[in-house]
């Protein structure tokens, strides 16, 4: 399964449906090389039991690059590192998530301009797409 370029209408949460749809992230694949280089140069690499904690490091870097360096004033609820089973290969992918389909009714969603600034800062060439969440991938009761 490939990520969606546009979110299918049936995956937009609505109380009119009996069940809540799976959660999808509006996101890009995390540019791990760019982010890990940034972490090494600024001593942001997080270690756990002597090993590099990649996810912990990417979280630190993401908030440092975007929020603390003043690229975009985006809420912590939105800008996150997440995992999806959907990616270029069967092993899944780490994502830079901007928001989810469950957030669509919020009034403080990041603007298109803010998303573009984040994209440029991370050196990403494509628009974000909709990736299935690895934890809430199923239809559920409200």
Taking only the tens place, the pLDDT of each residue in 82-119 is: 999 986 666 789 999 999 999 999 999 999 999 999 99
Q: What is the pLDDT of residue 88?
A: 66
> Domain-by-domain residue ranges, the chain?
21-135
Q: What is the pLDDT of residue 92?
A: 84
The token pair that represents 6 in the structure block: 């546009």
> Strand (E) positions, 13-127?
19-20, 24-29, 47-48, 51-52, 80-84, 93-100
Cα-flanking dihedrals φ and ψ of residue 24, to 5°?
-125, 145
Mean of pLDDT values over 57-82? 91
Q: Given phi > 0 = left and psi -120 to 50 = alpha, else beta, which region is 49?
A: left
CA distances to 47, 98, 118 from 112, rounded to whole Å, are 34, 11, 10
């Amino acid at each position: 399964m490939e990520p969606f370029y546009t979110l299918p209408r049936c995956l937009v949460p609505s109380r009119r449906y009996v069940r809540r749809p799976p959660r999808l992230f509006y996101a890009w694949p995390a540019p791990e090389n760019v982010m890990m280089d940034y972490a090494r140069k600024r001593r942001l690499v997080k270690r756990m039991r002597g090993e590099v904690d990649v996810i912990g490091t990417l979280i630190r870097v993401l908030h440092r690059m975007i929020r603390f360096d003043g690229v975009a004033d985006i809420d912590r609820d939105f800008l996150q590192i997440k995992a999806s089973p959907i990616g270029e290969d069967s092993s899944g992918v780490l994502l830079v998530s901007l928001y989810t389909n469950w957030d669509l009714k919020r009034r403080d969603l990041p603007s298109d301009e803010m998303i573009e600034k984040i994209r440029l800062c991370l050196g990403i060439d494509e628009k974000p797409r909709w990736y299935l969440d690895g934890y809430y991938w199923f239809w559920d009761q409200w």
